[in-house]
Amino acid sequence: MLLLGTGCATVRPPRGVPSRTVLIETTSYCDCGECCGWERVWWAPWRTVYSSGPSEGKPKKVGITASGTKAHKGTIAADRRYYPFGTVMYIPGYGYGRVEDTGSAIQGPTRIDLFYDSHRQALEWGRRRVSVKVWR
């Protein structure tokens, strides 16, 4: 069996668990400072990255999700009150993903954020309203 290096090739829905379809507004992000609210000091780019959003001034591990995993294509940020870590989703045009992250702007059952490996790819996705299959 050949698994492609897409990052989400191994995410599949759980067997025997029915899905439900939810109309969700999706946005996208990558691990850059513009998408994730962090900045490096210009005079010492090798030094610790600090948050510039709600956690301003606190050290940040770039590319690490709220669940502690490394972000990759297939990582989804969602409101954990509705979609706990590990929830599997199928997003048309993106593929399968798993909830592994959160975001301050990602609130409620009809908002998710999709991780991309580059800022260009994240911008190309933009904001889309799609019917998402959800397995919990």
Judge whether 65 and 72 are in contact, CB under 8 Å: no
Residue 4: per-residue pLDDT: 39
Q: Sort 80 into a burial class: Cβ within 10 Å, 0-12 / 13-18 / 19+.
A: middle
**pTM for the structure as a whole:** 0.79
Residue 3's pLDDT band (boundaries 50, 70, 90)?
A: very low
Looking at residues 13-40, what average pLDDT do you find?
83
Half-sphere exposure of 67 (CA within 13 A, CB side): 20
Residue 64's pLDDT band (boundaries 50, 70, 90)?
A: confident
Residue 5's pLDDT band (boundaries 50, 70, 90)?
A: very low
* Domains located in the chain, CATH noted: 20-31+63-135 (2.40.40.10)
DSSP secondary structure string for all residues of 79-116:
-TTTS-TT-EEEETTTEEEEEEE--TT--STTEEEEE-
Residue 54 has pLDDT above 60, yes or no: no
